[in-house]
Amino acid sequence: MKVLRSLLVMIGLTAGWQLLVTVTDVPPYILPGPGVVAQTLLTRFPTLLPHATYTLSEILLGFGLGALLGMISALLLATVRPLQVWLSPILVMTQSLPVFALAPLLVLWLGYGLASKIAMAVLIIYFPVASAFYDGLQRTPKDWRDLGRIMKSNRMAFLWHVRIPFALPSLASGLRVAMVSAPIGVIVGEWVGSSRGLGYLMLHANGRMQIDLLFAALVILMIMALFLYQLTDQLLKRLLKHFSLDEDKI
């Protein structure tokens, strides 16, 4: 049923797109119709595929590293109180700094390859994961905390068996947001400086007025982002179910 709803939404958006092009009679070099874009997808797919694969690798690596750093930071904040004084400002800075404005510097420091794009993705992903997981770790029910004190449980054992399982729904929310945000950082990094990737291809196509190719790259990016989100969502639901958490918390 969920797949059917998604399919109906996509059909409706495509029909609206075609209707807009037909009614306004806008030139193809400004807004090509879905038929033109679909034809470009088929004819230029050998060109699009290597760029899409490169962008996908950047997204996955950035997501993995950013999520890992965010979870480690949240665990340190929740378990080592003296570190809160030092790590809390870093968390705030990663959100308050204009990350997109740092893209030229990251390209300058790390070069035009994978490293600068991964760093952009990490900067965007880090905050939602760290803040969501830390918030979840702080929300362990008081009854469980009191029980742990009464039984004089080991601090690390209590963290692993009680606090982390209760924090998983919050972590899952942060990871979902992170997966949606990851392509943004990667594409912006490719716009600033790159020789490969969908962002580079879009910039190149825009400069040559190949708007149909630009839209084809956008369609692939959208499909890729939707697939990654759905995959992440399903994996997280299975993880939460494995820990016997209430489905309503997902």
pLDDT in tens, 117-130: 999 999 899 989 99
Q: State pLDDT tens for residues 16-43.
A: 998 988 898 888 888 899 999 999 999 9
Sequence-separated (6 or more) residues with CB below 8 Å from residue 122? 62, 65, 66, 69, 185
> Rounded to whole angstroms, what are the CA distances from 118 to 64, 106, 237?
10, 10, 26
Residues 190-212, mean pLDDT to the nearest whole number: 90
Q: pLDDT band for 66, please (50, 70, 90 cuts).
A: very high
Average pLDDT, the chain: 86
Helix 114-138 and helix 45-79, axial crossing angle in degrees, nearest 10: 40
Q: Tell whether the model's pLDDT for residue 177 goes beyond 90.
A: yes
pTM of the full predicted structure? 0.88
Q: How far is CA 36 from the centre of its chain?
A: 29
Give 247's DSSP letter. Answer: G
For residues 191 and 221, is the Cβ–Cβ distance under 8 A?
no
> Which helix (DSSP H) or strand (DSSP E) does residue 168 occupy?
helix 164-192
194: alpha, beta or left? (left if phi > 0; alpha if psi -120 to 50): beta
Is 14 buried (19+), middle (13-18) or exposed (0-12) by CB count in 10 A?
middle
Q: Is 197 left (phi over 0), alpha (psi -120 to 50) or beta?
A: left
